[in-house]
Amino acid sequence: MNVIVIYDSYFGNTQKIAETVARQLNGKAVRVDEVSLDTIKEADVVIVGSPIRGWRPSEKTQALLSSWQAQNFTGKKKAAAFDTRVKKWYSGDAAKKIENQLRKIGFEIITPAKPFIVLGKEGPLADDQIEAATQWGQLLNEKIRS
Ligand SMILES: Cc1cc2nc3c(=O)[nH]c(=O)nc-3n(C[C@H](O)[C@H](O)[C@H](O)COP(=O)(O)O)c2cc1C
């Protein structure tokens, strides 16, 4: 099973979540601007994570998803999405937006979009969020193998 966790991160928080999830899945965490379409085509499972920036996924994440719009992955790939966000703001929902776009191009969404919480715009992650990412990774693992 070839698993890739694609992430964007300005201050390192989303990267930490991505690396934690990738570890649980024996997968690879790859920065959004280092991913090629060939890498996606070779993957069985694609997890996409982004910090929320102005109620949306980051620009690079949006650009990557847009670049896939001509693809049809129906029946070929499983996926899930996550974001990092500041709880006290009206957050918006980047993870759900990513999930919707992945579904539109045929990915099978294996578990609902997941938010992770940072305590300020530069972080750090809230205390229990690495543990939450570990558990989410384990849940994904079960879904992938079921
Ligand atoms: C320009 C800017 C816009 C942001 N917009 C939002 C937002 O709309 N909702 C939210 O919950 N957090 C927002 N944040 C906080 C980010 O989600 C936070 O910086 C991010 O989770 C940190 O992850 P990173 O270290 O991987 O970049 C914003 C931060 C910045 C700098």
Q: Which domain holds residue 43?
A: 3-145
Judge whether 28 and 3 are in contact, CB under 8 Å: yes
Would the pTM count as exceeding 0.95? Answer: yes
Place of tokens 């959004």: 32
Which pLDDT does position 92 carry in this prediction? 81
The whole-number average pLDDT for the span 22-28 is 97
Domain count, the chain: 1
- For 93, phi then psi, to 5°, come to -145, 85
Ligand 1 centroid from CA 42, angstroms:
31
Mean pLDDT across the chain, nearest whole number? 95
Establish whether residue 111 lines the binding site of ligand 1, counting it when its CB lies within 6 angstroms of any ligand atom. no
Per the CB < 8 A criterion, the answer to whether 45 and 36 are in contact is: no
| CA-116 nearest atom, ligand 1 | 21
Check if 84 has its Cβ closer than 6 Å to any atom of ligand 1: yes
* 73: Cβ contacts below 8 Å, ≥ 6 apart: 105, 106, 107
